[in-house]
Amino acid sequence: MSLVVHQVIGGAGPFDAITTQALRFRRLFDEWGWGGKDAAVHIDPRVGDRFMPLRALAPAPADVLFVQYSAYTPGLSELLLGHPRSLVLCQNITPPEWFWAYDPLTAMQCYLGRSEARRIIANATVSAGASEYTRDEFGADTVIPILFEPDRYGPPPSDRQRDEGAPADGGEVLFVGRLCPHKRHDALIRAVALLRARHRPAAALRIVGEPVNDQYGAQVAELGRRLLGDAFTWDRGLSQDDLASRYRDADVLCCMSEHEGFCVPILEAFHYGLPVVGRPSGGVAEVSGNAALLTHDEDLGVVAGLLDVVLEDRGLRAELRARGRARLEHFDERATAEAARIALQRVAETAPAVR
Amino acid sequence: MNPEDALAVARERAAAHADAVLPPGGLEVERSSEPTDGQLLQWSVVEPDLREVRSTRSGPVGRAVTAIKQGLLRMLGQYHAQVLSVQNRINVHLSLRSTVTRDEVRELRAEVAALRRRVDELERPAADAREPIR
């Protein structure tokens, strides 16, 4: 079945995960011989002419709209209401409660985005979530996971390199993700501080990501410097190659986030053979499966204990590495591409073209 | 060690070292269901950071665009100050009015609840008196 699929996203930017995913989907559609255009409401000049303004998009009734919904998008609900064939893929939208005190504008966007999500889904022919968690949260029909492309990340270190492990009194803990309140960098810093105080005095923490705003970034950095001193490093604006080297150099990924729709860094950690420790919140538990050490324990000393155990035990790391690879197979990009193709074809079958 | 056994070991280690604690203070993220009145008042004052007015392009073109934007801001400074002062006056007034209204609603609700209780107290003896004697 040949389709014309127009993609719609809220904002198109050079470092935006949704934008990258939309471009990858477009390449897939090209491979399948499908036509269509890509549109966004806000377009960063750095993405060039790969996206057209949403207001300029005029889909024919037989065309399919593929919307990746990750934030409040003015006019989207009306567009879907007036178009008979659409697939809406809901990405994670963080509850606003995490942002009111730190970034009210983001809180408002989250509030509007979550309020609007059910209306958007109701107006879609077929709806999907990026994980079972997101599907259930927004009441969508099916799941289309994140399109994870291992070839973007380069080769992982060999098992032998990973087996060498961390020094007996140290180890580098890594976390990759935006500096946002719900990611709980504060808890992560305290967990690593406890790891140093109780088990490994030379352990270090490296965080990678852009802050939701400069003030929040400064608060995180201040806490990191106060509790960890020189053992705290914050990297931002990294290229893909630099990010890959951070993963290769790290000994464990620790994710203390309390709300995740999917959590791509976990798959990235699995790709690089890194063990994962963290909280089983939302999509984290679903993506990790049995390949990570997760705990609900409020006591951050337990998280410090898990970090110590995994840094110490070579056999445990090898087992987690093997399980992580199995999870990567589960989230193989071909499976995601097939899920998207089935959902888009379902749209066409559910809503026959108007002639 | 099996991954399934790691948590129990970690809990034992945490209990064994429970006396090693961290100094208090610093960022501790908290959730809030809505902005506080203080936040509303703080946000109502529009104070754009003019350093943020810049081009998203890099290189000489970006620098030129940034210089033009900054120049325009300086040229239109008086006009913007007037617009901001009007907007700020309205914003501050509305946020204060919202705070006062909320306090008044809270007081009125408390008063209504007290009056309902009083009505119940007064009606109960009358209702008891109407109970048929068996």
For B40-66, the pLDDT digits (tens) are 888 888 888 887 888 878 889 999 999
Q: Tell me: do A122 and A234 sit in the same domain.
A: no
Residues A88-109: tens digit of each pLDDT: 999 889 999 999 989 888 898 8
Does B131 have pLDDT greater than 80? Answer: no
- Cβ A35 vs Cβ A1: under 8 Å: no
Residues A272-289: tens digit of each pLDDT: 999 999 999 989 999 999
Q: Is residue A30 part of a domain?
A: yes
**SS3 call for A143:** strand
Q: Tell me: do A35 and A143 sit in the same domain.
A: yes
Q: Is residue A109 part of a domain?
A: yes
Query: Tell me, what CATH number does A107's domain have?
Result: 3.40.50.2000
Average predicted confidence (pLDDT) for chain B:
90
Q: Tell me: do A253 and A279 sit in the same domain.
A: yes
Domain that holds residue A301: 151-330
Radius of gyration, alpha carbons of chain A? 21
Residue A232 dihedral angles phi and psi, to the nearest 5°: -110, 130
Q: Given this model, what pLDDT does residue A47 score?
A: 83
Q: Given this model, what pLDDT does residue B48 score?
A: 85
Residues A146-183: tens digit of each pLDDT: 988 888 888 888 888 887 777 788 999 999 999 999 99
Q: Given this model, what pLDDT does residue A321 score?
A: 95
Does B133 have pLDDT greater than 70? Answer: no
**SS3 call for A277:** strand
- Cβ A234 vs Cβ A207: under 8 Å: yes
- Cβ A130 vs Cβ A143: under 8 Å: yes
Q: Given this model, what pLDDT does residue A5 score?
A: 96
Average pLDDT over residues A297-326: 95
Rounded-to-integer distance, Cα A45 and Cα A7, Å: 18
Q: Given this model, what pLDDT does residue B42 score?
A: 82
Percentage of residues of chain A with pLDDT beyond 70: 99
Chain B neighbours among A 229-288 (CB < 8 Å)? none
Residues B93-123: tens digit of each pLDDT: 998 898 899 899 999 999 999 999 999 999 9
| Region of residue A35 (left: phi > 0; alpha: psi -120 to 50; beta: else) | beta
Q: Given this model, what pLDDT does residue A17 score?
A: 81
Q: Is residue A355 part of a domain?
A: no
| Region of residue A92 (left: phi > 0; alpha: psi -120 to 50; beta: else) | beta
Q: Tell me: do A262 and A339 sit in the same domain.
A: no
Residues A96-153: tens digit of each pLDDT: 999 998 988 889 889 999 999 988 998 899 999 999 999 999 999 999 999 888 888 8
Per residue, the 3-state secondary structure of chain B, as one string, reads: CCHHHHHHHHHHHHHHCCCCCCCCCCCCCCCCCCCCHHHHHHHHCCCCCHHHCCCCCCHHHHHHHHHHHHHHHHHCHHHHHHHHHHHHHHHHHHHHHHHHHHHHHHHHHHHHHHHHHHHHHHHHHHHHHHCCCC
Q: Is residue A282 part of a domain?
A: yes
- Residue A309 and residue B13: Cβ atoms within 8 Å? yes
> How far away is chain A from the Cα of B62, in angstroms, using its nearest Cα?
11
Please, which residues have CB within 8 angstroms of residue B33's CB and are 6 or more apart in sequence?
Answer: A97, A100
> How far away is chain B from the Cα of A114, in angstroms, using its nearest Cα?
14
Amino acid at A286: E
Q: Tell me how crowded residue A339 is: count the other CB atoms within 10 A of its CB.
A: 17
Residue A354's pLDDT band (boundaries 50, 70, 90)?
A: low
Q: Given this model, what pLDDT does residue A182 score?
A: 96
Rounded to two decimals, the pTM is 0.83
- Residue A193 and residue B22: Cβ atoms within 8 Å? yes
Q: Tell me: do A182 and A326 sit in the same domain.
A: yes
Q: Which of A98, A227, A306 sits opposite B10 (nearest CB)?
A: A306
- Cβ B95 vs Cβ B44: under 8 Å: yes
Q: Given this model, what pLDDT does residue A352 score?
A: 63
Average pLDDT over residues B119-128: 87
Rounded-to-integer distance, Cα B33 and Cα A288, Å: 30
Amino acid at B75: M
Average predicted confidence (pLDDT) for chain A:
92
Does B38 have pLDDT greater than 90? Answer: no
| ipTM greater than 0.95 | no
Q: Tell me: do A230 and A82 sit in the same domain.
A: no
Q: Tell me how crowded residue B26 is: count the other CB atoms within 10 A of its CB.
A: 17
User: In this complex, is the C-beta atom of A199 within 8 Å of any C-beta atom belonging to chain B?
Assistant: yes
Q: Which residue of A has its CA nearest to B42?
A: A104
Contacts with B65 from chain A: Cβ below 8 Å: none
Rounded-to-integer distance, Cα A74 and Cα A337, Å: 28
Does B132 have pLDDT greater than 80? Answer: no
Average pLDDT over residues A349-355: 66
Q: Is residue A27 part of a domain?
A: yes
Residue A250, judged by CB atoms within 10 A of its CB (0-12, 13-18, 19+), counts as: buried
> How far away is chain B from the Cα of A34, in angstroms, using its nearest Cα?
33
Rounded-to-integer distance, Cα A282 and Cα B46, Å: 36
Q: For the residues of A53-95, what is the DSSP string, one character each?
A: EGGG----TTSEEEEEE-S--TTHHHHHHT-S-EEEEE-----
Does A3 have pLDDT greater than 70? Answer: yes
The helix-helix angle for B37-44 and B77-130 (nearest 10°) equals 160
User: In this complex, is the C-beta atom of A201 within 8 Å of any C-beta atom belonging to chain B?
Assistant: no
Percentage of residues of chain A with pLDDT beyond 90: 72
**SS3 call for A99:** coil
Q: Tell me: do A140 and A155 sit in the same domain.
A: no
Percentage of residues of chain B with pLDDT beyond 90: 62
Please, which residues have CB within 8 angstroms of residue B118's CB and are 6 or more apart in sequence?
Answer: none
Does B21 have pLDDT greater than 80? Answer: yes
- Residue A104 and residue B43: Cβ atoms within 8 Å? yes
Q: Given this model, what pLDDT does residue A240 score?
A: 87
Average pLDDT over residues A17-31: 92
Contacts with A218 from chain B: Cβ below 8 Å: none
Residues A40-89: tens digit of each pLDDT: 988 988 887 899 999 899 999 999 999 999 888 888 888 888 898 999 99
Q: Given this model, what pLDDT does residue A233 score?
A: 97
Does B67 have pLDDT greater than 70? Answer: yes
Q: Where are the domains of chain B?
A: 33-130
Number of domains making up chain A: 2
Q: Any bridge partners for residue A318, and if so which?
A: none
Q: What is the dihedral of CA A227, A230, A231, A233, to 10 degrees?
A: 100
Does A351 have pLDDT greater than 80? Answer: no
Q: Is residue A322 part of a domain?
A: yes
Contacts with A102 from chain B: Cβ below 8 Å: 29
Both tokens of residue B73? 């801001």
Does A192 have pLDDT greater than 60? Answer: yes
Does B130 have pLDDT greater than 80? Answer: no
